[in-house]
Amino acid sequence: MAFSTDDKEFICSVCGEKSVHTVLTEAEPPSGVPDLDLRPAGAPRKYMKYQVMECPNCGYCNSTLDIPFYPEKEYLSSDEYKSCSGIHTPNTDASRLIKKALALTGNHSYKDAVKSWLSAAWLLDDDCDINNAAECRRSAVKIIDGHPAAFKGDNNFKVLMADLLRRSGNFDRVVREFEGVAFRSQLMTAIAFFEVQLAAQGDDAAHRADEVPGVSAK
Ligand SMILES: [Zn+2]
């Protein structure tokens, strides 16, 4: 069993239209070591498209369409939303994840918005669409920078920030902000140290958590 799905009807919270979407009902757990940005290894990489559904009528994208959208619904007709904030890709799953990130930002769900930008970046990584993947990561960085109160004290996002910056080529900022930084978690300190080393070498590639010196993740 790799995974199983089911088709389910949802009513769009924005326009009231009914539509049928495939949902994941059972999933195989990750196998192997995650990347530094916690991208899971193994089977979950195939499930990304089930993280988002799109209303065929109004274009609303979210994890499920019954989740309310709080801003004016006209936003879903805006150029920013329809153009995926200017990120053009033939990958419809990535486009939907970008729209979900924009909708979540509108809902002030900033942490989930960052995760959706990151998921879109992962799909674009798989397409070898380096520029758009970097642009998604820059958008995630902008959310974290723009809403410090939402991320205050959350070291998971602090460490993720190092990877988002490095993978989008902002090496100077990684070194500036993370050199010598110690976290309460030794693992996080080791990851930050490794991110600084990679950034200093101008390395913007994906790396696995077990590459961190002193870490043998399983
Ligand atoms: Zn709708």
Instruction: Give per-residue pLDDT as tens, 20-33.
Output: 999 999 988 888 88
Q: What is the whole-number distance in angstroms between the Cα of residue 124 and the centre of ligand 1?
A: 26
Q: What is the whole-number distance in angstroms between the Cα of residue 19 and the centre of ligand 1?
A: 9
Q: Provide the domain limits for residue 129.
A: 3-152
Number of structural domains in the chain: 2
**Nearest 5°: CA angle at 103, between 100 and 109?**
100
Helices (H), the chain: 79-82, 92-106, 110-126, 130-146, 148-151, 155-167, 171-178, 186-200
Q: What is the whole-number distance in angstroms between the Cα of residue 167 and the centre of ligand 1?
A: 34
Regarding whether 124 and 53 lie in a shared domain, the answer is yes
- Determine the residue type at 208: R
Section 119-132 average pLDDT: 97
**Nearest 5°: CA angle at 141, between 89 and 196?**
110
Residue 48 or residue 135, greater confidence: 135
Q: What is the whole-number distance in angstroms between the Cα of residue 71 and the centre of ligand 1?
A: 14
Q: Which is nearest to 84 in space by CA: 73, 94, 95?
A: 95
Q: What confidence category does residue 3 fall into, taking pLDDT thresholds of 50, 70 and 90?
A: confident
Q: What is the whole-number distance in angstroms between the Cα of residue 127 and the centre of ligand 1?
A: 29
Q: What is the whole-number distance in angstroms between the Cα of residue 199 and the centre of ligand 1?
A: 43
Regarding whether 112 and 162 lie in a shared domain, the answer is no
DSSP-derived letter for residue 48 is G
- For residue 27, the model assigns a pLDDT of 87
Domain boundary among 102, 132, 152: 152
Regarding whether 114 and 53 lie in a shared domain, the answer is yes
The distance of Cα 162 from the centroid of its chain, to the nearest Å, equals: 14
Domain boundary among 128, 152, 176: 152
Rounded to whole angstroms, the Cα distance separating 65 from 12 reads 5
Cβ atoms 181, 155 nearer than 8 A:
no
Regarding whether 168 and 80 lie in a shared domain, the answer is no
Cβ atoms 144, 151 nearer than 8 A:
yes
Length of the chain: 218
For the chain, how far is it from start to end, CA to CA, in angstroms? Answer: 22
pTM over 0.75: yes
- For residue 1, the model assigns a pLDDT of 57
